[in-house]
Every structure is written in structure tokens, then in C-alpha cells.
Chains A and B, each alone.
Chain A
Amino acid sequence: MASHTASPLSRRALLTGAVPAGAELARAADTALISRADAEALVARAVKMSKADEILVSVGTNYSANARFAANQMSTAGATTDAQLAVQSSFGPKHAVVTANDLSDESLRRAVEMSERLARLAPDDPEAMPALGPQQYGTVQAYFESTAALTPADRAKAALAALELTRKSGDLQAAGFVTTALNANVLGNNKGMFAYHRNTANNYTLTVRTADGTGSGWAAADHPDWSQLDARAVAQRAVEKARLSRTPVAIEPGRYTVILEPQAVGDLVQLLGGYIDARSADEGRSPFVKQGGGNKIGEKIADERVTILSDPADPQLLSQPFDGQGLPLARQVWVENGVLKQLTYSRFWAKKQGKTATGFPQSLKMVGGTTPLEEMIRGTQRGVLVTRLWYLREVDPRTALYTGLTRDGTFLVENGKISKAVRNFRFNESPLFLLNNLEALGPAQRIAGTEGGGDVVMPALKARDFNFTSLSEAV
């Protein structure tokens, strides 16, 4: 799979590596993260060393571990502890950053001194903004001991929940990935801004294929709290999907009523996150360009049942309450009852346009409705039920038009029932068109398998006229 850029919400590239000598894994996980007190002291030390007008210190520490299995076998497993330090020094509009992966005083001093030397040599940045002063951040409890205490054997056990089922069946093959991460992130400067957040993360994805190669089912779970992750339920769902998706039949591509499971909705709707930058719209190169100039804030862009927001404190999201510049992130509604309410403004663009800077969100939620998936199926004369979408790529930025395919469980619904498994389709569709063709919304849930990653909550939905353009033989 080729890709040209990393997604802004990407977090899938978890590293693998080692833990300190002699330590138990769980304890190693604990010691990998910088504490708030140590972080404050580190920032204070850097500020004291600094001779610049402004200094911004950024520290990330993390521990991650994973287990991977395929063809009913373990394949690879690993763990890592890692740390990053970045020091930005500024003299007026001149600034420079120096990084290191060592948090010692010696390393800190080197970073401070070198960033000052380099900043003096840098050209003026026409978009430089003054340092932030003290900020008020909400508190998000996103760190769970259940996750911090995990061992390699626990992850192997989660894999076994699937492998036991598929090995016993004799006609199923499992492939999956369990990954765990602990993070502590710090930002601080010499003008009183200090932000600290730590979190845990768990992600489990599982694909079960039938040995005859005609069926494939996928299921997944994602939660910062390991105790909320039900590996057995994931395994059962993937097995059930694999069996149900066996020997799919070809039906004509065309425009269909679709019932998209939350993952499929997220795969498409999450892409809107890449277009909500006000600057692109104001510059005339975004789907949110208003004819005649400016952007579409205040205009209706979707069905009135559609509300999309970011909210670090939402119990389903639990994301970091500040962005990478230290701007506080709170509840921010992007689309409310179908009307575009807000786009993201950087500090520079907000100043230029006379707006308030929004910060860059780290989470996305589409508010759900009350129609359960089963009821959507019952109320459908003829339609296609989709488990998830795959290999989505932009085709036309003017309309946020994407192409991609259905994958791992695509079914025909006839007369209120799933009648048969069908072959996968390629689609050419925009999330904006989809959200205008809405028929019903289900309860929103946290999704686990996005290509982009991030904290994402989406409902299942039913929509008309989804544009399937060709068939795929792929299973």
C-alpha cells in the first residue's frame, strides 16, 4: 500500500523495542512515563537555561507492546520504551527546534543552546505567533492501571481467545494484532503555559477467513481501559461474520440503499477531519468553499440529524485536552443539525481573519440516533449491509470524493432480512453526499479499525443512493 502522507490523526505506527534490564514488564511500563512533577521540573530547568525571548519545551514518553498472529500462528511480538525531547527557542519572529531522545540535563542543555544558535540564524517566519500564556485545561482521566499492568502473556492470551476458536473449527484461519501503549505528553514554556497528560491505549483487530477462501469476517475493539476490551466477543463476532460471508454472489453495481456499520461510517466520515481547515476553504481549495468567496460556515451541508463534534472529556473519546501548541481543547461542535458551525483556525489564521483559534482536535464523534442496526435491516426492502471500507483514497478534493472498497462482510438485505453474502464493491462516494442521503441513525460507538487511527466514535447509519461503481472478486 503506497501512501504519500501520514494522517494527522495517525497513531498506528506503534514502535517495538525494549524495556530496561531486569525489570518486570509492568513495572517497566510504569517507569517509562515521565511524571507531572518531573515534567514541571524539567521545563523549569530548561527555562532557567534559556537566553531566548521564548522557549517552548515538548516532551513525549511512551511504552508500547504488541503481539501479532496470522495463519492461526503467532508471527511477531515486541515492546519498546521511547522518549522525545523538543526545544524551540525564539528571538522575535525567528525560531528553531532541536530534538533529542535523551531527557538528561546534558541533553537538555545541548538542545537549549543549539536551538538558540540556530534560531538566531533562521529567517523571519511571517506566520510566527507569540508564546501562549497560562492556559486552563480540562482534566481527562485516560490512564488505566488495567492497561499499565499488562504482560506479554496477557496479550498472547487475547490472541488465544481467537486462535482457540479457529483452530478448533478446522475450517477457519485467524490473523490479528493486539497493541498496547502508555503515553505521557508535556508542553511548557517561559510564559506560564504548562500542559501534562497521560493516557493508555489498547487496540485489537481480528480477521477470520474461511479455509476455502470464500469468506472473511472482521471485528475489533479499542479502549484505553484493557478491562473494557472483550477479546472473546471480538473473536466470536469475526467468526460469525466469516461464516456468514461465505460464497458471496455477484450483484450489479449501481446506486443502493446502504446500511453501514459504525466502522464503515467512520472509515468515510472521519475523512472530513482532513477538510475542516478554515484556511484551505478561505483560499478557495476545499469542499467548504462558498461560491463567490469565503467558506461555508453557517450553511447547511448535511441532513439535519447530523451533528459532528470533538470533546476530549466525552466518556467514549477520552482524548488529550490540549493540542500540540498548547491550546486547550474542549467540546467543539463542527456540524450541528446539518449546519456547518465551525472550521479549525490556527492561531495565525484566526488572527488574520479576526476569528478565535480553535486548536486542532484529536478526537471525532458523530452523535448517534436511536435506530438499532437490526431495525434498519428490518425496515429495508432492498439494500446492502457493509461491515467496513478499505483503501480509501481521494479522487476529487472539490467534493471530498473518495474511492475505496467494501471488505470483510458485505450482505444483501431483502424484505427486512439479510438474504445472502454478496461480492465486495468499489465505491466512488463523498462523506458529504452520504450525510445528505441519510435515512436512519443508530447509537454511536467507539471504533477501532480506522486507517487513520485516533479516538473516533460513530453510529451505524442507513442512507440511500450510495454509489457502488464496480465489483471486486476479492474476499
Chain B
Amino acid sequence: MTTSRRDFLVTTGSALALAACGTAAQSAAPPAAPTPQRQPTPGDASINDLLLEALQAAKDAGASYADARAGRYRRQAIATRERQITGVSDTESYGVGVRALVNGSWGFAGTSDVSRAGVQAAAREAARIARAARAVQKRPVVLAPVKAVTGSWRTPVQVDPLEVAIEDKVGMLLRANEAALKVPGIRFVNSGLNLLREEKTLATTDGTLVTQTLYRVGPQFTATAIGDGDFQSYTEELAPRGSGWEYVTSLDMPGNAERWASLAAEKLKAKSVEVGRYDLILDPRNLWLTIHESIGHPTELDRAMGYEANYAGTSFIAPPEKMLGQLKYGPAFMNVQGDRSQEGALATIGYDDDGVKPDEFLIVKNGVFNDYQTTREQAAWLKWWYDKQGQPTRSHGNAYAQSWNSVQFQRMPNVSLLPGDKEQGWDELIAATDRGIAIVGDGSFSIDQQRYNAQFGGQTFYEIRGGKITGMLKDVAYQMRTPDFWNAMDMIGGKQSYELGGSFFDGKGQPGQVNGVSHGSPPARFKNINVINTGRKA
């Protein structure tokens, strides 16, 4: 392998620290260059053979079902401040994970020893762990049937973000920082990139064999203004995407940074909000996170059934038999879709980690709760509902594991608020509002363990009087009770105003795993929402 000026990698001394810190998670790979490719790679025939060897070993060890997943994960993160690079990390992780179902109990093991002996040992280990679990199990796991599939899928990208020279990436970020520093009052700028290329092959004892290459890009920009005894930051909501480098360049960070930074300076002079009830107009760049927390998470079937009770919590949308087709989530024009197919969305894939081709499904249909997010293990729990709807009982394809060394479980698909029939947008919603606050960007966010009570901030807040924006506000957060909030929605934007937001790092499970997920929405108006003032002197 040759290196050139364009391949340089830099990092700070403290970045190396990560490798040596005391505990397991801190031993996550430190910032660095990737290791040269080892043979073979997911998609190669030799890897397929290895995975089949692993499946045979699992069956020989007593598994009634097994899957083997080979993955190569290349992650790159770049961080800058003002005129310097503060960290570049570039890591690659490669290995095979085997999941075995023995007498109705799960066991999982992964290995970075991608040899015949290595994957067979992992398969036997998975079976052994499953048998230990069996002693404690009461109700055996049953999987919904699937049709075996073979095929491949790739995120449609024009430019592989991992193949763009780091020099070009750093240059773009530093140019953005320089532009931001031109704004009076701006003292600090942080910008960065998170990039992922995930190549994986899944083989199952049901006969499925699928290979995929997924890409994700996540740019970041924050400017901080220092005033007289005060400081204010502004983070531009640069939605992470399942896209190529062309998406990052389309954002024109250097060309927009000055305008973004000026918002931080403007926040220093903004009026502190008066507490009270207001009509809120939420931009898609704010609403995505509210959708994520108050619709995305409570409609995960494992949460509703108590499987996440010890960590993130349960759900107010439980039990399913009292909620499906009955809970009025919002107004009749409210429709929320789960999918893994929207172009550019982070959870978009060809096949999930159960080997299921995902479908599009309505979580909320005409304002009424209609369906949960599911995996193969979970779909059968809702057979009664699907029978009643005249639908087949099948997984929605929502299984995902963050790496080859993590077990797959139910993770959020893209969950989006669909636009309304009337073609209207931000300006029309503001013009129709007499007294309110318009909020752009996401800020502080917190929600309880059943997803009732939430509090959200934002990046910029605008006072609305008589159908017009009259000035900037600060110290704003809105508090809500989920069903009341969505039922208070009385206006929604049309197709032209629909935008995708999302998170690169949605956390769930024990051990914790992260997942990328997108949420699309138009702007929407919510009547009479409680607003608090978060500013306070130390």
C-alpha cells in the first residue's frame, strides 16, 4: 500500500488515550489509520463458505436456527476547532458474529479470527451460551417464517465518503471555521464529520444469503459567541444521511458558515422568553427529534413488551391489545410511516439483520395507532392483529446490530410524519398564527421511560405576533405530554415542505448499541403548548 500527502492522518495526544483507558468500552479502537485490508471481504465467495461452515457448526452443536454475519466497518471521524484539527480517527473492524437458537434460547458469540476454526469456535460458543440461558428460560423463542432470499444491496452514492482525501475534508471544515470567525463576537467554532462504510454478508440456516454495503455521512458545525458575562452557541442542524460525499458538499459549509455563526452572535442579544402557553410552529429540523422520542421509541414492540424495562424503559403504548386500532395519537390528518426505503435516510437498507426485506408500514394511520416496529422474533406476538387486518404476519425488517460483534435486535426504522394534502409550508403556518413561537433546530432533549413527559429545546426561537416574526427569543424549552401534544397539532405542511432529519447515534439495549435513523416531516403547528424559561444565573 502506498501513501501520499493526501492520506495523512493526524490526531491529538489525548485521542490515543482512548486505547489505554481502564474499562471495556474505553478500549474502543482509538483514532488511527485503517489496517491494510485482510482477506477475504464480505461478498467474496470464500466468506460465504466460511459463514456456511459456521452455520453447520452451530447446527452440529444443537442449534435449531442460526445466522452468521460477516462485517467490515470502516469509521472515520474528523473534528476541528477554529484553525486547527483536534482529532482524526479512522478505524476498521472486521469479524464474524454467530447467533444460535438452542431449545428456544439465544446465544451469541463473535470473533475477529475470520478463519474456519475461528468461526466454528464462535458458533459452538454461541450454542454453549444458549444452553446456559436455557436453564433459566421459561418461554421458548419462536421466529416468524421468512422466505429465503439471496441478493445484494448498496446505498446509492456517487462518491464513497471514505475514499475522499482527508486533506480535502479537513480543508472544507477549516474554511467553514474561518468564515465563521469573521462574525463579530464569534470566538470558537467546532466542526466535524462522522463517516461510516458498513460491508456485511448474512447467512442463515433458512437459506438466506445477502451482501450489503451501507454508507452514512454526518457533518457538524457549532459556533460560540462570547458576550458580556454570557456565551451562546448555535449548532446548524446538518442532517446526517445515508448518502455519499456529494451530500456533504451540497451543504456548502464554507459558504454558509458565516450566516450560521451570525445566529450565535444574534442569540446573545435575543430577548429571554416569558413563560406561558404558546402556539408552536416547529421546523422539520426541530420536529425530527420530537418524532424520534415521542413516536419512534414508544412504538418499538420490544419496549412495549417490557424487554427494555431495565434500561431505556417501557412504553405508554401497551399492552398492544388495548392500543392497536384504538389509541388516538393525533388528528385525522396525522399519518406516521415506518420504512427502510426512503432515499438518503440513515436506516435505509436492502435487508435487515434477520435477513428480511423490510416493508413500508403505517405506525399511525389517520390519527390512530396502527402498528409497531418488529423483528422476526416479535412479529408472531401480533398475529391476532394482522389476522384481523387481513395482513400476513411478517416482520417489518427492523433487526439491526451495530457491528459484527453485537447481537442483532429490534432497532428503529426511519419513522416519519407524512405531509398533509394541502401544499403549504413554514411561511403559511407563520402567517396563520397570531401569537406563537417558531423553533428551528434541535437542542436539549429529555423524555421519561414510558415516553409521556418530554422537554425539548431548539437552536433558534422566533416570536410570532399577528402572523409575522417579530424578533429572536432565547432560553426556550417546550414541555409536553405525548398524546396531548400530538392531538394539539392543527396545521401541517405539504409535500414541498417535507425534510429529513436524523441521528447518527441512537442508543438502545444492554450492552448499548448505536444505530443511525432518519425522521422526515413537514413543519407543523401545535396549539397552546407549555413553554418554560431555562435561563438562570449561577
Contact = CB atoms under 8 A, between A and B. Distances in A.
Interface in A390-406: 390-399, 401, 403-405
- Among B36, B109, B139, max chain A CB count under 10 A is at B109
Contacts of A187: 20
Nearest to B18: A324
Given A74-B136, A206-B310, A82 B112 contact: yes
Contact of A78 (B109, B444, B447, B503): B109
B481 interface: yes
Contacts of A183: 22-24, 27
Given A118-B7, A173-B309, A403-B455, A360 B14 contact: yes
A75 B307 contact: yes
Contacts of A333: none
Contacts of B91: 99
A371 B309 CA distance: 32
B177 interface: no
Q: Which 6 A-B pairs have the closest CB atoms?
A: A324-B17, A21-B121, A17-B110, A99-B32, A11-B23, A472-B453
Contacts of B224: 285
Contacts of A470: 453, 455, 479, 530
A36 B133 CA distance: 35
Contacts of A475: 314, 450
A60 B21 CA distance: 8
A71 B110 contact: no
B126 to A, nearest CB: 8
A132 B538 CA distance: 39
Interface residues of A, number: 145
Given A88-B11, A100-B35, A390-B449, A186 B511 contact: no
Interface stretch (A2-10, A244-252, A260-268, A456-464): A2-10
B309 A209 contact: yes
A77 B447 contact: no
Contacts of B5: 121
A163 B310 CA distance: 14
A320 B311 CA distance: 27
A453 interface: yes
A458 B451 CA distance: 29
B323 interface: no
A473 B453 contact: yes
B20 A60 contact: yes
Contacts of B28: 13, 84
Nearest to A207: B310
A367 interface: no
A16 B508 CA distance: 15
Interface stretch (A44-52, A61-69, A335-343, A375-383): A61-69
Given A1-B507, A84-B30, A22 B121 contact: yes
Interface of A: 1-6, 10-22, 56, 58-62, 64, 66-80, 82, 84-86, 88, 94-102, 107, 110-111, 114-115, 117-118, 121-123, 125-129, 151-153, 155-156, 159-160, 163, 167, 173, 175-177, 179, 181, 183, 185-187, 195, 197, 199, 201, 205-207, 209, 213, 216, 218, 283-285, 287, 291, 319-320, 322-326, 346-347, 360, 362, 390-399, 401, 403-405, 407, 424, 426, 428, 430, 432, 453-454, 469-475
- Among A78, A101, A216, max chain B CB count under 10 A is at A78
Contact of A96 (B10, B26, B314, B475): B10
14 contacts: A3-B505, A15-B405, A58-B16, A64-B24, A73-B138, A75-B307, A129-B13, A156-B132, A167-B138, A209-B309, A324-B18, A362-B21, A390-B449, A401-B534
A302 B85 CA distance: 36
A115 B29 contact: no
B20 A101 contact: no
A17 B108 CA distance: 7
Given A20-B113, A60-B26, 11 more contacts: A18-B126, A77-B132, A80-B405, A96-B33, A122-B8, A152-B133, A199-B22, A206-B310, A326-B20, A470-B479, A473-B453
A175 B309 contact: yes
Given A2-B289, A58-B19, A75-B106, A392 B446 contact: yes
Interface string B93-106: 11101100000011
B266 interface: no
Given A74-B133, A391-B448, A399-B538, A325 B16 contact: yes
A160 B35 contact: no
B394 interface: no
- Among B93, B135, B511, max chain A CB count under 10 A is at B511
Nearest to A126: B84
Contacts of B498: none
B65 interface: no
- Among A95, A152, A197, A319, max chain B CB count under 10 A is at A152
B445 A2 contact: yes
A156 B133 contact: yes
A18 B405 CA distance: 9
Contacts, number: 425
- Among A95, A128, A167, max chain B CB count under 10 A is at A95
Given A1-B508, A17-B111, A69-B136, A185 B20 contact: yes
A397 B535 CA distance: 10
Contacts of A66: 510-511
Contacts of B15: 97
- Among B224, B310, B449, B477, max chain A CB count under 10 A is at B310
B231 A97 contact: no
B29 A101 contact: yes
A77 B10 contact: no
B31 interface: yes
B503 to A, nearest CB: 4
A395 B134 CA distance: 45
A17 B133 contact: no
B201 interface: no
A158 to B, nearest CB: 10
A160 B26 CA distance: 30
A13 B307 contact: no
B385 interface: no
A325 B14 contact: yes
B3 interface: yes
Interface in B103-151: 105-113, 117-118, 120-122, 124-126, 128-130, 132-139
Interface in B272-330: 289, 292-293, 297, 305-314, 316, 318
Contacts of B137: 73-74
B21 A185 contact: yes
A98 B305 contact: no
Contact of B16 (A181, A324, A403, A432): A324
- Among A68, A125, A151, A177, max chain B CB count under 10 A is at A68
A113 to B, nearest CB: 10
Contacts of A195: 20
B405 A86 contact: no
Contact of A395 (B4, B26, B314, B477): B477
Given A1-B297, A82-B405, A473-B453, A403 B30 contact: no
Contacts of B129: 77-79, 152
B537 interface: yes
B506 interface: yes
A114 B3 contact: yes
- Among A1, A86, A325, A393, max chain B CB count under 10 A is at A1
Given A2-B289, A71-B307, A96 B27 contact: no
Interface string B218-233: 0000001010011101
B50 to A, nearest CB: 14
B27 A17 contact: no
B485 interface: no
A18 B109 contact: yes
B117 A401 contact: no
B30 to A, nearest CB: 4
A397 B30 CA distance: 28
Nearest to B538: A399
Contact of A156 (B22, B135, B449): B135
